[in-house]
Amino acid sequence: MDLKLKGKVALVTGSSKGLGAAIARLLSLEGASVVVNGRDISRLEKTVSEISELTNNPVMAVSGDVSTPDTPKKIVDAVIAKFGQLDILVTNAGGPPRGQFSDIDDIAWQNAFDSLFMSPVRLIRAALPFLEKSETASVLTITSYAVKQPIPNLVLSNSIRAATVGLTKTLALELAGKGIRFNSILPGWTTTERVEELMRSRSSQNQTTIDEEYQKEAEACALKRMATPEEFAAVAVFLVSPVASYMTGAMIPVDGGTIKGLL
C-alpha cells in the first residue's frame, strides 16, 4: 500500500533509539523527509546514518531535551529552516523512573510532567502555525496502555500519560476544522532498551532472572509475546499518513491484547 508520504516532512522526537527510531526509519522508508531528535548527539548521528543508508531519503538530526521549555520551539524552527514545511509531528519521550506513590518526591513529579505532558504541549504549540499550512497535517502522541490499565510501580507514567491522552482527544475536536488530525498510540510491552532496563530492575528487586521477568509480561498478553519496535511503528506510520485521513481522536492500543477491558 502506498501511504502517500512522499514529499511530506515529519518530526519525531525521542527518536535516537527505541520506538521513536523505529517510526522515523519506517517514515523514511515510505518516502518522507524525517527529522529525528534526542539528547545524545552521537546516538542521533548513528541513527541518521543508519536511516540514510537504508532509504537514501533526507534525514536530519536536531539534538535537545524536549522537557525543557525553550527546546521544542528551537527544534520546530530548525525543521522549518531546513525543509520549509511540517506535515507530521510525533511526540515521544523516554519513560519516567519506576516507583510507588510513597517513593516519588515533588522533583520527580515535576520532571515527569515536563517530559510526558508539557513537551507535547510545547511541541504542538510551536508546530501549529506550520501544520495549519499542510493539507495532510497529523499529530501522533505516544503514550502507554497504562492509560487504560495502570502498570504496577509506574505511578508517574500511569498518571501523567492519561493527561496527554486527554490533551490529544481535546485537540482532535478543537482543531478538526483546521484539518489537523490528532491520535495517540498506547503501546504495550515492546522489546526496547527502556523495557530491558525495567526488566533488569524488576529482576533485581524480585531476585529473578531478566528472562523470567520478560516471560511474566509476555504471559499477561493474549499473544504471549512482546512486540517488536517494527510492529509498533507500522501502526504509527499508518496513523500519521494521509491514507488514515478519516481517523482522528483515536486511542489505539498496540499491546498484543494486554488490556483486558472493553473500552
Residues 21/260, Cβ–Cβ less than 8 Å: no
Asked whether residue 68 falls in the same domain as residue 181, the answer is: yes
The domain in which residue 217 lies consists of: 191-226
Q: Where in 122-175 does DSSP place strands (E)?
A: 138-142
Q: Which residues of 8-47 are buried (b: 16+ CB within 10 A; e: fewer)?
A: bbbbbbbbbbbbbbbbbbbbbbbebbbbbbbbeeebbeeb
- 143-198: pLDDT as tens digits: 999 999 999 889 999 999 999 999 999 999 999 999 999 999 999 989 888 888 88
Asked whether residue 101 falls in the same domain as residue 215, the answer is: no
Site of grid cell 508517574: 156
- 35-81: pLDDT as tens digits: 999 999 999 999 999 999 999 999 999 999 999 999 999 999 999 99
Percentage, residues of the chain above pLDDT 90: 85
User: Considering the domain boundaries, does residue 211 fall inside one?
Assistant: yes
Asked whether residue 133 falls in the same domain as residue 19, the answer is: yes
Asked whether residue 123 falls in the same domain as residue 211, the answer is: no
User: Considering the domain boundaries, does residue 4 fall inside one?
Assistant: no
Asked whether residue 65 falls in the same domain as residue 183, the answer is: yes
Task: Please state the domain count of the chain.
Answer: 2
Task: Enter the pTM of the model.
Answer: 0.94
What pLDDT, on the 0 to 100 scale, is given for residue 113?
97
What pLDDT, on the 0 to 100 scale, is given for residue 95?
84
What pLDDT, on the 0 to 100 scale, is given for residue 198?
83
Q: What whole-number distance in Å separates Cα of residue 241 and Cα of residue 245?
A: 7
Asked whether residue 140 falls in the same domain as residue 195, the answer is: no
- 83-115: pLDDT as tens digits: 999 999 999 998 888 899 999 999 999 999 999
Distance of CA 52 to the CA centre of its chain: 21
User: Considering the domain boundaries, does residue 154 fall inside one?
Assistant: yes
What pLDDT, on the 0 to 100 scale, is given for residue 1?
84
CATH number, residue 150 = 3.40.50.720
Task: Reply yes or no on whether the pLDDT at 29 is more than 90.
Answer: yes
Residues 6+ apart with CB under 8 A from 147: 158, 161, 162, 165, 186, 251
User: Considering the domain boundaries, does residue 45 fall inside one?
Assistant: yes
Task: Reply yes or no on whether the pLDDT at 205 is more than 90.
Answer: no
Size of the chain in residues: 263
Asked whether residue 66 falls in the same domain as residue 78, the answer is: yes
